[in-house]
Structure 1
């Protein structure tokens, strides 16, 4: 089983002024992110505006990442409403160099998404996927709860190797750790909870805040691994408020504005999302200053 331990970056997707994919800017951002001891890159996560990407754009992003990723993990978000579409996307992304896929449940027909239906969806995906599957639990966007009981059954499948929990509920994350046991690994999705998540058994995180605070996020993980809990706690105090003010409250627009402030390419989100306004920019600037972040922090 591929080890998922460490900090994974759900990277932002840069767009040009005409709204198209800014692939050269993406490649430049990748070079900076990969200069840090991250565990991997996640393309087409929530921070990457996955629902707004065309299939050819996703392919271009994955190809660009595969060219730079080396021996680190390249994970691609392939969630879709139809099971067959997820299966097809997984095969395509594996062919382009993905090492794993991050898969959410369908939710448009919410009332039909009973636990047995969700189970069958993920098992069919896992059966057909040429690369390992990571379950994606993000109830704020996809209101289908991957309960610990359901997850405990899903991770019996040898091709389901982990779950990203973005519920923001530490108790739920702990229950998922117990449910996964030795069958799968748990990654936290909240930068405010990384230290606590590691303490309760998560192996790392897929963290939006790590896109803008890469060095500090990696330092937290490395300090915790080394048993330096004082330094790990200090790093958590740095990135926790940044997660809250920029990622959780500000969303994609704020994350992209922060990237611009830090010398990377953020740019505008894709419509219908709107760029950060003056008030949001002020919050971003204050959060970055409070976290003492500069370029590549």
Structure 2
């Protein structure tokens, strides 16, 4: 799975003002991000997957396949707190040309660790392509522990995890005890260099939608062993990272992309477009990055 080393961009889904998919803007986004990323992540949380219909998801995936300027690898998000629904989505999806699935740990119903293991084993057994776990306790209200991750890493069709727990000790335990080819991927932009330094394989990033070139420089520096240089490069985004999430993801990054002329800022309810105060803050911080 070396094709998934480096930066994966969690693509936003551009909408028109009438809330339809804006395919013209999506094509522009694919071209913009291809300047620096290593693969596309389609229909992750940042893509507002929870407010897209199954038909829209399939259409967006097909569009990315057909409008992939550098023929980059594609990771497709299929996840739910309903295991049978995930299995049905896998069965119905056209996964030709998809390199891996990204599946979030079950949210809201807060299953036990045993339930999480059985959930992901069922997904991995059903999936015709490799599976990446996604641990994001801030969204799911439960943590996929290091022990659980390592149990799942033994499954031949589970090839890595996107770790967004922010728990460095947990990440270290995974790195220490994982199978050699199992990938630890940062799910938090600001943790990218830290996980690279542990032996992690990169990041699935929100801010790479706007700043693919910065993440490319981070990767090159990290690959050469110059973590200090990689840290300084990533630190350019330190101040703007927080505002990306103040009013919900992808509200902040969509406004940032609208400033760049890549796509509009429209999001679907229950998300709401950035407030004037947030826009002012992002405007100021974006100008500082240009300097």
TM-score range (shorter-chain normalised) is over 0.9
245-254 or 136-145, larger mean C-alpha shift: 245-254
**Structure 2 CA distance for aligned equivalents of residues 258 and 88 of structure 1:** 36
Q: Offset of 1:153 from its aligned partner?
A: 0.7
Structure 1: where are the runs of 5+ without partners? Answer: none
2:289 maps to: 291
Matched, 1:206 2:207: no
How many positions carry a matched residue from both structures?
Answer: 290
Which position in structure 1 is the counterpart of 2:4?
Answer: 4
**Unaligned stretches of 5+ residues in structure 2:** none
Q: Is the 8 A contact 2:29 2:209 kept in 1?
A: no
Instruction: Report the TM-score, using the length of structure 1 for normalisation.
Output: 0.91
Distance apart, 1:189 and its partner CA = 1.1
Secondary structure of the equivalent of 1:163? strand
Q: Secondary structure at 1:273's aligned position in 2?
A: coil
Deviations 1:236-272 (A, max 9, x none): 2112222223246663211110001112103211011
> Does residue 233 in structure 1 map to residue 231 in structure 2?
yes
Q: Compute the RMSD of aligned alpha carbons.
A: 1.8
Name 2:20's counterpart in structure 1.
20
Q: Mapping of 1:1-297 within 5 angstroms? A: 1=1, 3-34=3-34, 36-69=35-68, 70-110=70-110, 113-247=111-245, 251-292=249-290
Deviations 1:192-228 (A, max 9, x none): 1111110012110001111111110111111111233
Tell me if the contact between 1:94 and 1:131 (Cα under 8 Å) persists in the aligned partners.
no
Whether the 8 Å CA contact 2:79–2:102 is kept in 1: the answer is yes
Instruction: Tell me the distance in 1 between the aligned counterparts of 2:286 and 2:64.
Output: 27
The change in CA–CA distance for 1:75 and 1:221 in structure 2 (over 3 A counts) is same
* Bigger shift: residues 61-70 or 148-157: 61-70
Stretch moving more, 130-139 or 264-273: 264-273
Contact 1:62–1:96 (8 Å) recurs in 2: no
Superposition TM-score, scaled by structure 2 size: 0.93
Q: Distance in 1 between matches of 2:287 and 2:134?
A: 32
**SS of aligned partner of 1:224:** helix
Look up the SS of the partner of 1:210 in the other structure.
helix
Question: Is the 8 Å Cα contact of residues 9 and 39 (structure 2) preserved in structure 1?
Answer: yes
CA contact (8 A) 1:94 1:130 kept: no
